[in-house]
Structure 1
Amino acid sequence: MLTMLDYIFADRGPKMMKPKTSRHLVAAAACASMMAAGITAYSPSAQACGGLFCNNQQPVNQAAERIIFSDNADDTVTALVQIMYQGPSEKFAWVLPVPGEPDVSVSSTAAFDRLQTATNPSYRMNTTVEGTCDTRGGGFFGSDDATAEAGGMNNANRNPEDDGVTVVNSGHVGPYDYTTISVDPGNENPTQVALDWLEQNNYDVSALGEQTITPYLEDGMNLLAFRLSKNADTGDIRPVRITYDAELPMIPIKLTAVAANDDMGVMVWVLSDERAIPSNYKSLRLNEAAIDWFNPNNNYNDIINRAADEAGGQGFVTELAWPTDRTLPPPNQFSNGQDLADVIFSENEERFWEDRIKNTDWTGNEFGLLQQSSRYAAFDGYLEVLEATVPVPSRLTTEEFAQCPSCYQSEMGGEDGEIDNFDPQTFITQLELNVIKPMIETQELVTSRPYITRLYTTMSAGDMTLDPVFDFNDSLGDHSNAHVAERIIECGDEDYTRNEAPWRVELPQGDIVFGSGSTWPVSSEDMPATRAIVQDRNSGDGEVVVDNAPEIDSFIERHNQRVTDEFSGGGCQTAHPASVSLARNMSLALMFGAFGLLLIRVRRREE
């Protein structure tokens, strides 16, 4: 049974060898400085690494419950909710607490998919080479590449004896029947009255206990209940769009606990005037050193799980905060960023729909219409429109026919392109209403607000004791979903192959990590998943509740020293090239300083 909402760093350009580097390399520098007197001036060559393999681009694409909120200018909130359900269709029931009388329609899974793909966080390493690598044994160590109108529904289901329940509105959208009810708080047990009414009217809410909806009824909220229509099955389930009176977006997550899986992903987009914040949950600043930069898909969700646990199961990571009228940052150096105005249903797609399908005369070319419309076969509602308006041969499923309508042309009316018992205009009207319109409306919703924030977390049932509320902060600044690190392979003077050479990576947060080979050298289990846990406010940077930066910096320092020792054989014979470079710089500084003092003394003698 499904019971509830089944959804749901301002990047700094890398600056190599920042002052922070000396803190991370302090032990290595001490060893290298002992060698400084014997080191001559050295200027390593930096080889820009061209080609695909030098760029490690990984979009992180989580599977999660998803919801899009729009904080509208008229004191309403619009919520697009993707409903996830597994089970028999007759057991499907979805109950949502809402204020007042909501406006209900359907949306499209394709809209969620496209928005998620465009806004997924990505982690990329740009690679350059210092010195000249030995070419024996091959060069590079492999690839570094690691995105329905509401119909009338009468009140036949209303039991006149249930005086404590009022039907606020009801209707049919997409595959759903829905009813919004209010319950008289004067009843001895309003919660039980509501549950009894829903059960009597064929909404299976047997898994809901009184304690789950009582707080919402006590707050004066109504209950919006969905069920699948008589002839619909679970394969027809699609997202819904609800607009209601509210001051702030809120997820009634406590109801979700009834059917939640462990570490259930919750992904939220908030459209608004400014950046959204979780006002009663913590904001999680991830520890970038814990992420596997060679294959971030390998452990990103594990990092989110641990980060959420560090916040007591009630915290969100901000994955994107960006103006909707600005192009998103390019996910990698080989592709342009996406314009949010074209992410869900592009201008070209809308023009194609208007000019090539909707306003085209399909008389005598009805199979041409079906063939052209098949481009929308992956959109919610397409198969239902096809089944309702096209006389598909009985030996075929609708899915089989949709794959190649023209393959059955002779079977359905001859070679002249016409189809018996088929009205092209009815097909186009239903296609627009049920398939195209939800995509266009979602695109318009995204671009109607000046700012978009994407937040993500994972939660288990035991964490769902507080409903997340999202407020706004106009001073936090933008946060890109594209994260770029700089890796320097330190070959020296043909001392190593690229497979063997040590490297250093500077992360966007400023940490520098030593390593070698093609495996991320730091275990995420050995460090906190969060660099900081923050309680954000409506203004300012928020209050740091937990600061893990000193612990992380100390860990990376020790790790880098171990790598340095490994390349130096445990002593000071030869050190990690980054340490050598630092020592060379120190030696040069000492040399020029001594030369300066000598000049001063000579001049004084001349005076």
Structure 2
Amino acid sequence: MITRRLLTCLAAPAALALPLLLNPSAASACGGTFCDTGPTSMPVDQTGENILFVIDGNIVEAHIQIQYDPENDAEKFAWVIPMTAVPEFSVGSETLFQNLLAGSVPTYGFNTVQEPCGDSGDDLGESTSTGDDGWGDTGTDDGGDTGGPNVILQQIVGAFEVTVLEGGTVEGVMQWLDANGYQQDPAAEPILGEYLNEGHLFVALKLAFNADVDEIHPIVLRYEGNESCVPLRLTRIAASEDMDIRAFVLANGRAAPTNYRHVIVNPLMIDWINFAENYKEVVSMAVDAFAAEGNAFVTEYAGTSGVVSQAGLYEDSWDAAPFAELQDTPENTIELLESQGLAYCYEGQCELLHPLLPALVESFLPTPDGVEPADFYGCLICYGGLIDEDAWDAAAFSAALDERIIAPGKHAVGLLDSWSYLTRMYTTISPNEMYEDPIFHVNMDLQDVPAIRQGTHRLLCEGGAEFILPDGRSVYMPDPFAWPEISGEMPWEQEVSLAVQAGPNQVLSDRTDTINQLLDAWNAAHGWPPSESGDGDGDGEGGSDEIGDEGDSGGDDSGNDGTGGAGIEDGAASCACSSEGQGEGRVGWGLLGLLGLGLVRRRRTAPRSREV
């Protein structure tokens, strides 16, 4: 079944809203999961709700990846989305979302080196790779005179039935939804009332008749406006605690939250040794910190859209027209798909090469009873007499192929070619925090944020290790294979800021000095760094009382990724908002932390990383 936690508010200044499910029970979202991209790297978790905004002057496109829980019934899925204007609807590209996630996923990793010991000595600046570098690519009722809404648009968009409702009372809207198969939660009534009072329309969306769960695809809403919005107020009736939300923006510059805050997480709270296994926890705590107040995003990536692969989106060889000529020869369908590069067949087995194609083929060419699907689709001509002639409609198949696969893919390629800049933002948010719909804007003055964050893990001769963060700060590790819990009130956030329309973010709270002081105290308590006369083992017995000056390390006010930059004095709050974020996933982390790590002196391992 489709998960009900999906989000997104679309409207000129406000915008996309959320799912009212027919089945009120909570469901877990299924999302893209990215496991390790090589022998020594892993991506961060990426389950959650994903939406892509494209801002083109006064036109906004919202691409929504509709996610579902296969343990539940897809027929019970429905959405109600508040809008300020009637949008244009079209099918989105599932492959585009897969490639967005893979290309921009944040990765936390490290190189491991061995301190030179005794007479043998390698220069630490020379690192020998042992192979892969560790980085991956990686029936409608208009309500009559009962206060019901007016139905101003109805259409089928791919696998979905879409209806746009205007006006009416809250009671009338709820009655319409009930009469048309949308089971509602009474808790939605006051929220729907808020949107009605603000003049919003409602888009009601559910699976079309006979559509199955495996036909679900992203949907695109195109509307007039210059901001993108996620309508969380309606979402809160079905949301879980710390729900993951990930927003992508394609534009001509970096995007930032307008009415939410922007957060840079404290990199010292990341478990680097286990490849940011605790990433979601760190982000959740950081966005709940002082001045962020539970309404904030982190920026996981900001930079060239070239990181998004165009593989599998669209090929010039794809053409729906020839399939319309196969009404009398449906057994040639797979062969024609193969000739266009949409299928691959070998020794009687055929693989369909687009994520939406298997369900599409199955709906028009269902497998006969008693025949294995692999055998049937591997040799349609062998089972020609068993093909369901009532299900096969060549013209309809051709139209569906174009609408669901070819046209969305071609449009996706055009978007990536037209917009050179991609921003990826992430947050976690709970129902009690969903009282304002986050809006995003483009600020051309903000800096890039890299997705790859890599440190250095330096094993010491006498035990322990030094970990050098990407910003140059040094952390002593008593246990060389366990990330230390630094004593004191170490903050989860490094910086909270308000993203303005132009110029650098306005800093509301900066904890860099506090973080550095706590780090220095930790290092000093363990005799790190050692004095010239010390024994250099970091055990505190020969160490210096002096603390190295790390005051220039930390986040900056441009909203970078928090792994480096100029420090700003601790300060608290003016007013405003800002944000930065990530996602969750199901990969098995941590175990790669020890792979390839030799305790043999002077041995160096390949870089390691994990995408979060």
TM (normalized to structure 2)?
0.70
> Is 236-245 or 92-101 further displaced after alignment?
236-245
Shift of the 2–176 alpha-carbon distance from structure 1 to 2, 3 Å rule, reads: same
Task: Give the AA of the match of 2:481.
Answer: T
Shift of the 60–550 alpha-carbon distance from structure 1 to 2, 3 Å rule, reads: same
Name whichever structure is richer in helix by fraction.
1
Whole-Å Cα distance in 1 between the matches of residues 480 and 465 of structure 2?
10
Pairing of 1:298-337 with structure 2 (within 5 A): 298-310=277-289, 311-324=292-305, 327-328=306-307
**1:445 Cα deviation from its structure 2 partner:** 2.5
Aligned pair 1:382/2:382, yes or no?
no
The residue that corresponds to 1:445 in the other structure is: 415
> Is 385-394 or 62-71 further displaced after alignment?
385-394
Cα RMSD between the aligned structures? Answer: 4.1
The residue that corresponds to 1:28 in the other structure is: none
Q: Secondary structure at the match of 2:491?
A: coil
Q: Is the 8 A contact 2:50 2:245 kept in 1?
A: yes
Deviations 1:363-418 (A, max 9, x none): 9855533566446747453233213332532234xxx626872256533359xxx9
The residue that corresponds to 2:384 in the other structure is: 412
Deviations 1:42-85 (A, max 9, x none): xxxxxxxxxx9999533213211111111122x12111112234
Aligned pair 1:506/2:506, yes or no?
no
Q: Is the 8 A contact 1:484 1:508 kept in 2?
A: yes
Q: Is the 8 A contact 2:527 2:544 kept in 1?
A: no
**Percent identity of the aligned residues?**
26
Q: Is the 8 A contact 2:331 2:384 kept in 1?
A: no
Whole-Å Cα distance in 1 between the matches of residues 232 and 496 of structure 2?
21
Aligned pair 1:474/2:444, yes or no?
yes
Question: Runs of 5+ in structure 2 lacking a partner?
Answer: 10-35, 121-127, 345-350, 549-612
Task: Give the AA of the match of 1:65.
Answer: E
Q: Secondary structure at the match of 1:456?
A: strand
Question: Runs of 5+ in structure 1 lacking a partner?
Answer: 9-51, 148-154, 185-189, 329-339, 491-495, 587-607
Q: Secondary structure at the match of 2:359?
A: helix
Q: Max radius of gyration: which structure?
A: 1
**1:465 Cα deviation from its structure 2 partner:** 1.2
Shift of the 351–61 alpha-carbon distance from structure 1 to 2, 3 Å rule, reads: farther
The residue that corresponds to 2:336 in the other structure is: 369
Aligned pair 1:123/2:84, yes or no?
no
Q: Is the 8 A contact 1:263 1:305 kept in 2?
A: yes
Whole-Å Cα distance in 2 between the matches of residues 360 and 199 of structure 1?
42
Whole-Å Cα distance in 1 between the matches of residues 135 and 445 of structure 2?
34
Q: Secondary structure at the match of 2:236?
A: helix
Task: Give the AA of the match of 2:335.
Answer: G
Task: Give the AA of the match of 1:246.
Answer: G
Whole-Å Cα distance in 2 between the matches of residues 426 and 247 of structure 1?
36
**1:430 Cα deviation from its structure 2 partner:** 3.2
Deviations 1:299-349 (A, max 9, x none): 11111111122122111000111133xx43xxxxxxxxxxx3x34645xx5
Pairing of 1:7-86 with structure 2 (within 5 A): 57-73=41-57, 75-86=58-69
Q: Is the 8 A contact 2:110 2:455 kept in 1?
A: yes
1:295 to 274, 289, 295: 274
The residue that corresponds to 1:564 in the other structure is: 527
Shift of the 158–537 alpha-carbon distance from structure 1 to 2, 3 Å rule, reads: same
The residue that corresponds to 1:177 in the other structure is: 161
Shift of the 68–132 alpha-carbon distance from structure 1 to 2, 3 Å rule, reads: same
Aligned pair 1:98/2:83, yes or no?
yes
Shift of the 236–358 alpha-carbon distance from structure 1 to 2, 3 Å rule, reads: closer
Deviations 1:3-29 (A, max 9, x none): 674369xxxxxxxxxxxxxxxxxxxxx
**1:296 Cα deviation from its structure 2 partner:** 2.2
Shift of the 146–245 alpha-carbon distance from structure 1 to 2, 3 Å rule, reads: closer
Task: Give the AA of the match of 1:317.
Answer: V
The residue that corresponds to 2:571 in the other structure is: none
Q: Is the 8 A contact 1:56 1:123 kept in 2?
A: no
Shift of the 345–560 alpha-carbon distance from structure 1 to 2, 3 Å rule, reads: same
Whole-Å Cα distance in 2 between the matches of residues 269 and 485 of structure 1?
26
Aligned pair 1:534/2:497, yes or no?
yes
Aligned pair 1:458/2:428, yes or no?
yes
Q: Secondary structure at the match of 1:550?
A: helix
Task: Give the AA of the match of 1:383.
Answer: P
Shift of the 520–358 alpha-carbon distance from structure 1 to 2, 3 Å rule, reads: farther
Task: Give the AA of the match of 1:60.
Answer: V
**1:538 Cα deviation from its structure 2 partner:** 1.3
**1:229 Cα deviation from its structure 2 partner:** 2.0
Deviations 1:248-301 (A, max 9, x none): 101110111000011110000012222111111111111112212222241111
Q: Is the 8 A contact 1:304 1:457 kept in 2?
A: yes
Whole-Å Cα distance in 2 between the matches of residues 576 and 307 of structure 1?
34
Whole-Å Cα distance in 2 between the matches of residues 54 and 367 of structure 1?
34
Task: Give the AA of the match of 1:455.
Answer: M
The residue that corresponds to 2:19 in the other structure is: none
2:259 to 280, 290, 294: 280
> Is 91-100 or 291-300 further displaced after alignment?
291-300
**1:90 Cα deviation from its structure 2 partner:** 4.6
Whole-Å Cα distance in 2 between the matches of residues 63 and 286 of structure 1?
20
Deviations 1:192-214 (A, max 9, x none): 22222222222222345321112
Shift of the 207–402 alpha-carbon distance from structure 1 to 2, 3 Å rule, reads: farther
Aligned pair 1:262/2:241, yes or no?
yes
**1:581 Cα deviation from its structure 2 partner:** 12
The residue that corresponds to 1:114 in the other structure is: 99
**1:224 Cα deviation from its structure 2 partner:** 0.3
The residue that corresponds to 1:574 in the other structure is: 535
Pairing of 1:71-220 with structure 2 (within 5 A): 71-73=55-57, 75-86=58-69, 87-132=72-117, 156-162=140-146, 165-184=149-168, 190-220=169-199
Deviations 1:80-104 (A, max 9, x none): 1122345444532210001121111
The residue that corresponds to 2:18 in the other structure is: none
Task: Give the AA of the match of 1:441.
Answer: H
Q: Secondary structure at the match of 1:216?
A: helix
**1:233 Cα deviation from its structure 2 partner:** 3.9
Deviations 1:216-259 (A, max 9, x none): 11111100001222323444433211112223101110111000
The residue that corresponds to 2:217 in the other structure is: 238
Q: Secondary structure at the match of 1:467?
A: coil
Whole-Å Cα distance in 2 between the matches of residues 259 and 451 of structure 1?
33
Whole-Å Cα distance in 2 between the matches of residues 463 and 254 of structure 1?
9
Q: Is the 8 A contact 1:280 1:469 kept in 2?
A: yes
Shift of the 575–356 alpha-carbon distance from structure 1 to 2, 3 Å rule, reads: farther
Q: Is the 8 A contact 1:393 1:412 kept in 2?
A: no
**1:354 Cα deviation from its structure 2 partner:** 5.6
Q: Is the 8 A contact 1:177 1:228 kept in 2?
A: yes
Whole-Å Cα distance in 1 between the matches of residues 427 and 61 of structure 2?
21
**1:118 Cα deviation from its structure 2 partner:** 0.8
Q: Is the 8 A contact 2:7 2:230 kept in 1?
A: no
Shift of the 132–440 alpha-carbon distance from structure 1 to 2, 3 Å rule, reads: farther
Whole-Å Cα distance in 1 between the matches of residues 453 and 277 of structure 2?
16
